[in-house]
Amino acid sequence: MGSANSNHDLATPSALSAALSSPNHLIVDLRDEGERYHRLAGAVSAVWDREKKEMPLSSLPQDKETVLIVHCASGNRVKEAIPFLQAAGYKNCINGGGPGRYPMPDGAPPAPPPPLWETYGDRRIIFQQSFDELGSSTYTYLFGCPSTGEALIVDPVVEHVERDLAAVAQAGLKLKLALNTHCHADHITGTGEMKKRLPDLKSAISAESGAKADIHFKDGDEFTFGAHKLLILGTPGHTNGCSSFHVPAAGLVCTGDALFIGGCGRTDFQQGSSEGLYDSVHNKLFTLPNETVVYPGHDYQGRFYSTIGGEKENNPRLGMKKTKAEFVDIMAKLELAYPKQIDRALPANLMCGFPE
């Protein structure tokens, strides 16, 4: 394997799978004790000191040819740790990202960690991924700036408003904006209920969605939360009002229903377009750096995130060098059932979560 991963980018799914299949590999966990959610079987602990830029080596093998699969919460600390390990003689190091990329132990629920403080370059950010286990398998994302306390939330679900507001309070944040990636048909947004609890909270959604909101954004707009920016990428196709949210400083993108892990949202209702979705993903998402972490709107197999490079390489609908014609044909043959919640959810979501 050598030092092929010398640029320390997040390993693609195929590279990670190959490393995990190596008979001489070891998973190295850089996370602090308080971050040890979903502890990986067989992993050794070697906490990365963010201030001193070092880690203990006592738990690592003497065999310097061992393939070290180094992970933290998202892979950013790994970028600092790999040069340190290589200087210590460990040449076969790969950036394994966070625990959501690994096979889950039997019976482990797809539950998120508490809000995390993560380092991105010289900045820090609070980030939480939460899951709706009640039926829609929706992911909700909380972003916060620890220096100012400003926070944004993406795609809240009405049944989990209490949970999400508790997370905001736990992290000591003030929620300023609730954004929706699109007008959802599989659950009722929690945005309206949150606004009842937090009078200063503003709601935001694409102007193309036709939904009520305090702020209607468009492709190219940006929102700030403290020292960080969230950029709007117009990614219509699942619906005509879909958007993705790019946080460059964190190297991640929330893709809503435009791009899933190994899939995408359907295109047969709400002014959807297979041709439009293909163009959106290839022109707006697949042009991001390969190491950009993809946080989808849903996942139905207990996975948490992927990468742009991984989806380009492995997504059976939109990746693997599929042509637009091939994608359109795939989508036309899905024969999906009528969405179970659409008659309940869509009218409410057009009114920011409140039916007329």
pLDDT band at 187 (very low <50, low <70, confident <90, very high): very high
Mind giving me the DSSP string for 226-286? TTEEEEEEE--SSSTT-EEEEEGGGTEEEEETT-BTTB----SSTT--HHHHHHHIIIIIT
Q: What is the pLDDT of residue 51?
A: 84
What is the mean predicted confidence (pLDDT) over 141-154? 94
Cα separation, 264 vs 261, in Å, equals 8
What is the pTM assigned to this prediction? Answer: 0.72
- CB count within 10 Å of CB 302 equals 14
- 183 against 123, higher pLDDT: 183
CA-atom Rg of the chain in angstroms: 20
Flag whether pLDDT at 206 surpasses 90: yes
What is the mean predicted confidence (pLDDT) over 230-251? 95
Of 26-40, 89-103, 168-182, 341-355, the least confident:
26-40
Across 203-213, b (16+ Cβ under 10 Å) vs e yields bbbbbbbebbb
Flag whether pLDDT at 354 surpasses 60: yes
pLDDT band at 121 (very low <50, low <70, confident <90, very high): very low
Quote helix, strand, coil % in the chain, to nearest 5: 25, 25, 50
Cα separation, 158 vs 140, in Å, equals 11
pLDDT band at 101 (very low <50, low <70, confident <90, very high): low
Structural domains of the chain, ranges and CATH numbers in brackets: 13-101 (3.40.250.10), 116-350 (3.60.15.10)
What residues does 202 pair with on adjacent strands? Answer: 177
Flag whether pLDDT at 285 surpasses 60: yes
Q: What is the pLDDT of residue 2?
A: 39
pLDDT band at 74 (very low <50, low <70, confident <90, very high): low
Q: What is the pLDDT of residue 340?
A: 86
pLDDT band at 346 (very low <50, low <70, confident <90, very high): very high
Token digits for 149?
């306390």
Q: What is the pLDDT of residue 108?
A: 43
| Mean pLDDT across the chain | 86
Flag whether pLDDT at 36 surpasses 70: no
Q: What is the pLDDT of residue 85?
A: 95
Q: What is the pLDDT of residue 134?
A: 85
Q: What is the pLDDT of residue 118?
A: 56
Among residues 258, 353, 326, 339, which one has the least CA distance to residue 298? 258
Flag whether pLDDT at 237 surpasses 90: yes
Flag whether pLDDT at 191 surpasses 90: yes
pLDDT band at 103 (very low <50, low <70, confident <90, very high): low
Residue 80: strand, helix, or coil: helix
Flag whether pLDDT at 233 surpasses 80: yes
- CB count within 10 Å of CB 84 equals 16
Flag whether pLDDT at 106 surpasses 50: no
- 310 against 208, higher pLDDT: 208
